[in-house]
Amino acid sequence: MAEDTQQAAQIAWGRGGTPVSTRFDDPYFSLEDGLAETAHVFLDGNALPARFRPGFHIAELGFGTGLNMLAALRLWRDSGQEGRLRYTSFEAFPMDAPDMRRALAAFPDLAPVAALLLAAWEQGETWIVTPDLLAEIVIGDARATLPRWTGKADAWFLDGFAPAKNPELWEPALMAEVGRHTAAGGTVATYTAAGEVRRALEAAGFAVTRVPGYGRKRHMTTGRMEAS
């Protein structure tokens, strides 16, 4: 079993101020438009906001800058939902607060929701509780932490670094845990269309579909859990 010890993210700054993981040699979000990528891949890919309901629970592999959570929270607010959006994210290499602040400065439209995350992150907090959000960022290797999680998600954002560079976050055993922690009728979306990922999700119980990707990516993957 993998250990869930904490190690900080290692960041360089690429074209246009995009954060790049030096550990995995991969950017944290699209060099074209990270927020548009999140909307296409994770929000549209999970049929949101149409599926939102009270208590809706999103889970994620790869918290990174927090961009996906902030985009989901803004959509929750803009679509007039009641109560709290629940959000659980698993992150092995948490980004330092100054780097997170610098990365999110690229998205001024998200500033009102980003302020909540940044204030908590700068205090070392991994729980964020507001009138419309109940979020937990679980620090450690997801191969160790996800099996111990007791929740089930209505939607999954699989946003680890590319499978070729970060294969541990896409291995079949971990995808099986994603399936085990998905509610009946729950969905999954990811930017990758790699065959090994699609096969692992199918083995985990998802009906998998390859759909058009964002920007220069021809395809991405979505899936639905028919039984759980």
The answer, yes or no, to whether residue 36 has pLDDT greater than 90, is: yes
Q: What is the pTM of this model?
A: 0.94
Mean pLDDT, all residues of the chain: 93
The answer, yes or no, to whether residue 15 has pLDDT greater than 90, is: no
pLDDT in tens, 106-154: 999 999 999 999 999 999 999 999 999 999 999 999 999 999 999 999 9
Q: For residue 159, what are the CA distances in angstroms to 31, 52, 54, 77, 123?
A: 15, 20, 24, 23, 25
The answer, yes or no, to whether residue 190 has pLDDT greater than 80, is: yes
**What does the CA dihedral 70, 71, 77, 78 come to, rounded to 10 degrees?**
150
Q: What's the rounded Cα separation, in Å, for the pair 195 and 172?
A: 12
Residue 192: its pLDDT value, please?
A: 95
8 A C-beta contact, residue 87 and residue 156: no
Q: What's the rounded Cα separation, in Å, for the pair 183 and 91?
A: 21
Give the mean pLDDT of 42-61.
Answer: 98
Give ∠ CA 58-59-65 in degrees, rounded to 5.
100
The answer, yes or no, to whether residue 160 has pLDDT greater than 60, is: yes
Residue 1: its pLDDT value, please?
A: 34
The answer, yes or no, to whether residue 31 has pLDDT greater than 80, is: no
Q: Which amino acid is at 155?
A: A
**What does the CA dihedral 118, 122, 126, 130 come to, rounded to 10 degrees?**
-50
The answer, yes or no, to whether residue 3 has pLDDT greater than 50, is: no
What band does 6 get if pLDDT is binned at 50, 70 and 90? low
pLDDT in tens, 80-92: 999 999 999 999 9
What band does 2 get if pLDDT is binned at 50, 70 and 90? very low
Q: What's the rounded Cα separation, in Å, for the pair 100 and 49?
A: 26
